Structures are given as C-alpha cells and as structure tokens.
Amino acid sequence: MTAPRMAPGPKGHWFWGSLRERRKESLHFLLRMHREYGPVAQWRMGPVNRVMSLVDPEHVRHVLVEQVGRYTKGLGAERLSPMLGNGLLTSDGDFWKRQRRLAQPAFHRERLVPLVQVMEEEGRRMLERWQARPDTSAPVDLAEEMARATVSIASRALFSTQVIGEANRVLPALTVAQQEVNGRVLSLLPLPLSIPSPGNLAFKRARATLDSVIFDIIARRRSGETTGQDLLAMLMEARDADTGESMTDAQLRDELMTLFIAGYETTANALSWTWTLLARHPEVEERARAEVAQVLGERVPGAEDVPRLRYLSQVLEESMRLHPPAWVLVRQAREDDVVDGIRIPADPRLVVAISPWVIHRQPELWPEPERFDPDRFSPERAAGRPRMAYLPFGAGQRLCIGTHFAMMEMVLILAQVLRRYRLRRVPGWTPVEEPLVALRPRGGVPMYLDPLPA
Ligand code: HEM
C-alpha cells in the first residue's frame, strides 16, 4: 500500500503563505486553487495555519457523513464561542448530541405551522412600514429591511417577544457584536478577550446588553410573569431522555443566542441576495409573481401554501447556490484521516474547509455555473445530482436545524413583497460579495420600490 500523499497547493510567501492572494482575490482565490491543484488543495495562511479545501462531493460526504466522528468544529467554533457560548452551532461530541436531541422536535415541520402567522404578520408590518415612508421615491436598503424582518421573526418565534421593541438597545448591540465576531473569525490571531482593546471592550459591552435581554426573558418566563408557546417554552420543557435533566439558564442562553444569531443573519442575507438577482432577471421575477397570484391571489398565506409556491423555493435555492450565506463549513480532524490517498492530519493548525460557494460553482456539477437559472432545481433537473453538490444548509448530522424554518420564512416574505412591489436596482450599483461569517452584500442593497397597481 502506498503511503498517503500531502495535499497539493502553492508554496506561497515564506512568512505569509497565500494570505495576501487570498485577501486580494477573496473567494475567487478558492476557485483558482481548485482549478490549479485539483479537488483537494492546501495553502498556508500566515506562518502557522493551513487550510485544506475539499470540493468533490464524495470527499465532502467522507468528512460530513461517513467519518463525521473523526472531525470537530475546531477553529470555527473557537472563534464564534465568545458570542455563542457552547450552543448547537459550536458544541461537539456528546454534549452537542444531547442538546440537538432536545431541540430537534421544536423544528419539525408540523411544530412550525403556528409560526406561519408570525412570519406573515412581520412581512405585512414591513410592507406597512414601506408604505408609510415619508419619501416613497427614495431607495430603500433591502439588506437592512430584511434584517429587521428576520430579527423580529426570530425573536417572536424564540421568545414571543418583540426584541426589536427594545430597538434602541438590541439592534446596535447586535451590530457591534457581529462586527467584532467577524473581525475575530477573519483575524490570524485575535487578541484574547481579556485584553482591554477598544474592540474587545465594545464587544463585551454589546454582549452584556444582549445577555441581559436574554437572561431577563428567561427569568420572566421561569417566574410565570410571561408565557408563550414558543421555542423558549419547548427548550425549557425539554428533558434529557436518559437523565431527565432540563437545561440550566446558562445553557438556555447559549442555545437562544445561537438560534437567534444563526437564524436571522443567514436568512436576511439569503433574501437580500435573492432581491439582487430578481432585479437583474425580470423574467424570473415575473414568473415568480405569477405563481404568487395563482396560488395566493389576495389571500393571507398559510402553511399549506408554502409547498405550493414551488417556483419561489426554486428561486431561493438557486440564489443560495450562487450566494450561500454560510459560504464555508469549517472542520478539524481529531484523528488522522485519509481522503482519496491524501492525508488529513489531526493538527489544530489545519482547517478543513468545505465551501458551498466553491462547490456550487464546479462546472461538472453545475453547467454554466455563473448563470442564474432557478429551473436547475426543478424535480426533473435536480434528479440524479449528488446530494453533496448542494450544501447551503450543510449536510450530515450537523445539517442546519432551521432549514424548514428558513425556507418557510423566506418563501412567505418573498411572496408578500412580490405581490405589492417591483424592485429596481439603483443605476450604477452592483452587489459585491463580502465573505464574513455570513456572505453578505457589502454596504447593503439599495433599491427602488415600485408599487404595483392593486
Ligand atoms: C437561509 C438561512 C440559513 C442558512 C443558509 C443556514 C445555514 C446553516 C449551515 C450551513 C449550517 C451547518 C454549519 C456546519 O455544518 O458547520 C447551519 C447550522 C445551524 N443552523 Fe442554520 N441556516 C439558516 C437558517 C437558520 C435558522 C432560521 C435557524 C434557527 C432558527 C438556524 C439555526 C442553526 C443551528 C442551531 C445550527 C447548528 C446545528 C447543529 O450543528 O446541530 N439556521 N445552518
């Protein structure tokens, strides 16, 4: 038997490795690496850390499904945990398994049905806000609007309260916290939080604000001052099947913060990207609008309408193919592994990267990858495509717990807006991808809202 090989890749600068090229070329650097070095490519990021990126669906299956026990979330979780604690996204092993088992039932499709009303109401509120603008001819930042709507939906779904009602405190704190988390995730060597740098202090203040809001919500619920049939209630009632234990306040905080942040930002970004694509492809927009007219007419949408709005789902799927909000999944081998004769060492300085953004652009899997074509997701054309060719929600046991929640929410918002407005891009503006923790359009999405005749 031949010994496993090292993954191929550029030698790079003696100190920086490929860091400068990666920063300059952004995500296209990853595409180039795979074009030049094949399906497993490796490069250095600075003097110590290395990235090994995989794009072959079989290799992805190997890491995310078949050998999942050999991998942890590693560096990705380390950088996110100052904000998210030890919640579902960042935890590993038996603790993660137990928490996932406790939380899973709350996300079953049937349990989400009552949330359709919340989603619809928040969508309607957004439209009312648009209608009441003092200057209806001025462009609107769709990225901000989508974030407001998804924050409201996440907060009502999780704790039956309008956190946004505390807008003065919560939204700025979320923005600061996200900025700092983004900085930490991208930094080669983030400053330990114990060092009182301006960034660290701002982060801690923002986190303390969000913590106090969440702990207060938990305390009021425990004391019976508030009630609700929401995710908080389900998480509080959940009992471990083996030990009968329920979650402590600290665990509830970590899970709620995780669900809140994982839930709103990704969804807002997916919707923002979708608007940029629809504005560039009026024929797709018209077809989507026709479907809404046919399925809903002027009715208030219900849960049963979501699967009927099939083309809208396809539009969202294709939008997340081109711009997957979770543009990279990060893993670390806890024991040595081999994929396709290439060694993946258990080394904390090696990040195993699986990038949906790159995989979704492999021409063997997706002909004419840059073309926006929602029909790729028609049942006929989707049949036979490898499961791991499309990963906006990840795969395997760490698959996004909020997949149905997110699809429902996005279909409903899309339908409500399409029924009332045609969105037009501000001339001269083109979206630029900014791959932070989530892939977002840099500087927002300014658009004109043309009301449709009633
Ligand atoms: C378009 C919207 C969304 C996208 C693109 C998305 C994407 C993802 C991806 C790719 C993962 C897997 C990460 C990994 O394997 O490292 C994930 C995990 C997760 N997502 Fe989502 N997500 C979305 C919406 C939501 C929503 C609405 C919620 C909750 C309400 C949510 C909660 C979570 C949680 C808790 C995890 C961790 C699951 C675990 O490891 O057990 N996400 N998401």
Q: What is the pLDDT of residues 159-187, one digit of tens each?
A: 887 775 565 678 788 888 888 887 776 67
- pLDDT winner (highest mean) among 93-102, 234-243, 394-403: 394-403
Residue 373 has pLDDT above 90, yes or no: yes
Task: Inform me whether the pLDDT recorded for 409 exceeds 90.
Answer: yes
The answer as to whether 212 is a domain residue is yes
- Ligand 1 centroid, distance to 411 Cα (angstroms): 17
Asked whether residue 285 is assigned to any structural domain, the reply reads: yes
Contact predicate 382/310, CB 8 Å: no
| CB of 275 closer than 8 Å to CB of 142 | yes
Sign of CA dihedral 120, 125, 130, 132: positive
Range with the lowest mean pLDDT among 123-127, 201-205, 267-271, 324-328? 201-205
Nearest CA to ligand 1 atom 19: 400
The pLDDT assigned to 368 comes to 97
Which range among 89-93, 224-228, 304-308 shows the weakest confidence by mean pLDDT? 224-228
Report, as an integer, the average pLDDT of 96-114.
89
Does residue 454 register a pLDDT over 80? Answer: no
CB 174 within 8 A of CB 155: no
Ligand 1, atom 26, lies closest to the CA of: 263
Which structure tokens are listed for 21?
Answer: 């090229």
- Each residue of 294-352: pLDDT tens digit? 999 999 999 999 999 999 999 999 999 999 999 999 999 999 999 999 999 999 999 99
Closest residue by Cα to residue 422 from 266, 297, 320, 281: 281
Question: How far away, in angstroms, is 279 Cα from ligand 1 center?
Answer: 27
In a domain, 69, yes or no: no
Nearest atom (ligand 1) to Cα of 264: 27
Residues 6+ apart with CB under 8 A from 38: 8
CATH code of the domain in which 227 resides? 1.10.630.10
CA of 259 to the centre of ligand 1 (A): 8
Ligand 1 atom closest to the Cα of residue 89 is 37
User: Residue 5 falls within a domain, yes or no?
Assistant: no
The per-residue pLDDT of the chain, averaged, comes to 92
Is residue 197 included in any domain, yes or no?
yes
Find tokens 């080394």 and name the residue.
347
Candidate from 47-61, 186-200, 238-252, 285-299 with smallest mean pLDDT:
186-200
For residue 395, the ligand 1 atom closest to its alpha carbon is 15
Residue 389 pLDDT exceeds 70: yes
Q: How far is the CA of 96 from the centre of ligand 1 (A)?
A: 14
364 occurs within a structural domain = no
Strand partners for 49: 45
Q: Whose CA is nearest to atom 43 of ligand 1?
A: 400
Whether the CB-CB separation of 82 and 181 falls below 8 Å is answered with yes
pLDDT range class, residue 437, cuts 50, 70, 90: confident
User: What integer pLDDT is reported at residue 153 of this predicted model?
Assistant: 94
Q: 302 CB contacts (<8 Å, ≥6 apart)?
A: 116
How far apart are the CA of 38 and the centre of ligand 1, in A? 29
Residue nearest to atom 30 of ligand 1 (CA): 263
Tell me how far apart the alpha carbons of residues 62 and 102 are, in angstroms, rounded to a whole number.
Answer: 27
Q: Average pLDDT, stretch 277-294?
A: 97
**CA atoms of 16 and 235, how far apart (whole Å):** 45
- What pLDDT sits at residue 164? 59
- For residue 287, what are its two tokens? 């077809």
Query: What residues line ligand 1, using a CB cutoff of 6 Å?
Result: 88-89, 100, 258-259, 262-263, 266-267, 270, 325-326, 329, 392-394, 398, 400-402, 405-406
**What is the longest distance spanned by two Cα atoms in the chain?**
73
More reliable by pLDDT, 194 or 56: 56
Nearest CA to ligand 1 atom 37: 89
How many domains is the chain built from? 1
Closest residue (by CA) to atom 7 of ligand 1?
393
- CB neighbour list of residue 330: distance below 8 Å, 6 or more residues apart: 73, 74, 75, 76, 351, 352, 353, 354
Residue among 400, 407, 436, 439 to mutate when testing ligand 1 (max atoms within 8 A of CB): 400
User: 258, 90 in Cβ contact below 8 A?
Assistant: yes
pLDDT at residue 1, rounded to an integer: 61
Query: What is the predicted pLDDT for the residue at 300?
Result: 93
In a domain, 16, yes or no: no
* Mean pLDDT score, 231-237: 89
Confidence of residue 258 (pLDDT cuts 50, 70, 90): very high
Q: What is the DSSP letter of 329?
A: E
Residue 231 CA: nearest ligand 1 atom is 30
Q: Tell me if 260 is assigned to some domain.
A: yes
Q: What are phi and psi of 390, to 5 degrees?
A: -135, 115
Task: Give the nearest ligand 1 atom to 96 CA.
Answer: 41
Highest mean pLDDT among 4-8, 55-59, 381-385, 441-445: 55-59
Handedness of CA 10, 13, 18, 22 (dihedral sign): negative
Measured N-to-C along each axis, helices 282-295 and 310-322 cross at an angle, to the nearest 10 degrees, of 150
Alpha-helix residue ranges (DSSP H) falling in 166-197: 167-186
Residue 239: the pLDDT is 85
Amino acid (1-letter code) at residue 61: R
Domain of 306, in residue numbers = 78-335+390-446
